[in-house]
Amino acid sequence: MRTIRSYTTHAGFWALILGCWVGSLPARAGVEVLYATGFEYQEGFNTAFDLPWQGGWLGEPYNGSIGTSGILSNAVAAPAQEAYVGYTPPNPPTNSISVWKPINHDPSQKPLVHFEVLMTISDSSIDYWDNFQWRVRNMNGQTLLVVDFDNFYTDVACLLDNGTTNFTAQRFTNGVPFWFGIDMDFQMNQWSASFDGVQFVDGQPITTTGASLTLGDVSMVWAIYDANNPGDNFVTFDNYRITAMPTGTDLAWIETLGLVGNAFALRLHGPDECHYAIEASIDLLTWTPLKTNVVSGGSVDFVDTGSGPSPRRFYRARFLP
């Protein structure tokens, strides 16, 4: 029997001002895409094979991991392929299966690193449940931090490199896709995490033990609770992306201009020639793309002709590299 846990609430960093979703977003200048993939066939990913050794991905342990990860078609959104980990019991039994793409980023020039992924955690159909984790390691192979998704409690915790576990109030729902992100400032030795764009972990140290502050990889780990009785639960993930940028990178923000007739008007401020997608939502859960805008002269105006008489409507600007 697992111990019932206590929860600690973390304040989010997004602000709602005059009905607008306002967030700081990185400018294109100085942003480097360290790695990005949609696990598509055109990128060399094939549903007939395990994920390790496709597209430069690796896995551990190699012996016993056959069938425990791979590529699925249309598991999250058609037409698309996604990676998966889990479901098939490892043979021989083991407590963990991990997959990763080596990144090996020295953050001395670009210490601000952002990781994001679209993921779905599926329930187990038998009476055994496991955990799925995003694990960040440095270039020496040392684990710096772990974000743990417990499929028994459907909650999320963060694990530091000194063995400390911090439980959060964040929950997830089996079978429902969500965006997960980690922001790391290697210069300040801090990281935060977000769930569908809302921050739920903030101000955590990347290392508490003096480990090397470099980025080796961001791994997906199937942490099996009972090696002899793994659940048939699994995780799918897609749109895996890691970017890096220097400190002092220009940021963007949204200004509200009010109504133009029955339509709501916004002004997006940001660096020239940068592309942003304006998106709208009525519940902060489902976002609808409205228009892609290119900043010129420091700002660009947008009028939402589809806003209508809605009692509330939220907006956000998403940077497009």
In order along its 321 residues, the chain shows pLDDT tens digits of: 333 222 222 222 222 223 333 333 443 446 789 999 999 999 999 999 999 999 999 999 975 578 999 999 976 555 589 999 999 999 999 999 999 999 999 999 999 999 999 999 999 999 999 999 999 999 999 999 999 999 999 999 999 999 999 999 999 999 999 989 999 999 999 999 999 878 899 999 999 999 999 999 999 999 999 999 999 999 999 999 999 988 866 667 788 787 887 788 888 887 777 888 888 887 666 788 888 888 888 888 989 887 766 667 788 887 776
DSSP 8-state code for residue 215: B
How many whole angstroms separate alpha carbon 269 and alpha carbon 313?
20
145-173 in b/e form (b: 16+ CB < 10 A) is bbbbbbbeeebbbbbbbeeeeebbebebe
Is 41 in a helix, a strand, or coil? helix
Residue 315, CB half-sphere, CA atoms under 13 Å: how many? Answer: 26
Cβ-contact 137, 104 below 8 angstroms: no
Chain CA centroid to CA 315, Å: 20
pLDDT of residue 130: 98
Which of 64, 70, 74, 77 shows the shortest CA–CA distance to 46?
Answer: 70
pLDDT of residue 297: 83
pLDDT of residue 122: 97
CATH number of 32-245: 2.60.120.200
The torsion angle over the Cα atoms of residues 183, 74, 287 and 116, rounded to 10 degrees, is 0
Distances (CA, A) of 131 to 74, 146, 153, 270, 306: 23, 12, 10, 40, 42
pLDDT of residue 268: 86
The dihedral built from the CA positions of residue 42, 79, 150 and 225, taken in this order, carries a sign that is negative
Cβ-contact 277, 289 below 8 angstroms: yes
Cβ-contact 273, 308 below 8 angstroms: no
Query: pTM here?
Result: 0.75
Cβ-contact 276, 268 below 8 angstroms: yes
Strands 69-73 and 81-86: antiparallel
pLDDT of residue 295: 84
- Domain layout of the chain by residue ranges: 32-245, 251-320
pLDDT of residue 11: 26
